[in-house]
Amino acid sequence: MTSYSGMSARDVPEARQDLIEWAAGRGGDLVAQRGRPGLGAALAASVRQAELYFVTADMTQLAHTIGQGLDVYALAADDLPAEHGLLVWDAPATGERPGAAPTAVAWGTSRSRLMVSLLGPTGAYREWCATDSPEAVRSAPLVTAGRLVYRGHGPVLPLDGPDLPWDRLGFGDYEEGMRTLLATLILINQPVEARRSLHETEDMTPSRASQKRIRRAGGDPTRTVRAVTLRQTLRPQENADGTGDHARRIYRHRWFVKAHRVQQYYPSRGEHQTIWRGPYLVAPAGCEDAPILGGERVNVLRR
């Protein structure tokens, strides 16, 4: 699968700023024309709060393969890494022709529902328009939000509901992209749930050109980008008796954990109960005086 998003992890904050500006202006007019008044403002507000995610090309290919094998749609609020998110795949999320295939999604939650906007790469879209219909060429500037173009809103999806066959959700042309999104969320959460993750962090500064564009758009160009790489820990081979230690995790920072739901076991009752835990500061051994993670953060999913 060819990588053609034209973006890296450090480009995602600028793409977010462009999308906010577009959705609050001509993007809002566009979706209103399509019978969705107020959706542009809602999209701008959601993207402003979004956690940022970047998925490398090989992981996108893996998510696409997994997504096509999912038998049913099933998504709980706890399966989402954040209530609002902007996720960029570094490869097409579907098998559509270049320019038509989405490479990014923006999502937001409200009242146990998930709203998803599909986005594509501007460069590939313009190349596709040049060989397609005149109508596509005329609409290209209208749907362009900087590095991304608006490909449309998928149907409103239920959260915390029963498993549903895909054909009952009315995805239509969006089904393949939604399958890839669901599989990507599974891949993001799976290492955390299995407690096998190694979190590597790297502070990055947007390029000077990006800082100028963010400043002109009203954003804060001085905020650093913190790339969080999720990796599975490497484990030594097991001994002959089947024993073996897990690979140690290496931490160099402290970080805050957001409020989240957990299953707490009560021995006196002999049952588990869902409770809220956090927020709290995590300080691994040896990191009592280490820097605290903060600022702009892009979560990178790579092998």
Question: Tell me, what DSSP letter sits at residue 67?
Answer: H
| Whole-angstrom distance, CA of residue 30 vs CA of residue 93 | 24
Q: What is the pLDDT of residues 137-194, one digit of tens each?
A: 777 777 888 888 888 777 788 888 888 888 888 777 788 888 999 889 888 876 444 4
How many Å from the N-terminal Cα to the C-terminal Cα in the chain?
15
The stretch 116-123 carries a mean pLDDT of 87
pLDDT bin (cut points 50, 70, 90) of residue 250 is low
pTM of the model: 0.67
Q: Is the per-residue pLDDT at 87 higher than 90? A: yes
The stretch 38-49 carries a mean pLDDT of 84
Q: What is the pLDDT of residues 147-157, one digit of tens each?
A: 888 887 777 88
On whether the CB atoms of residues 15 and 7 are closer than 8 A, the answer is yes
Helix H or strand E encompassing 20: helix 12-24
Q: How many Cα atoms sit within 13 Å of 298 on the Cβ side?
A: 27
Which of 59, 92, 4, 54 minimizes the C-alpha distance to 183?
Answer: 59
Give the model's pLDDT for residue 247: 43
| Whole-angstrom distance, CA of residue 290 vs CA of residue 231 | 21
Helix H or strand E encompassing 186: helix 175-193
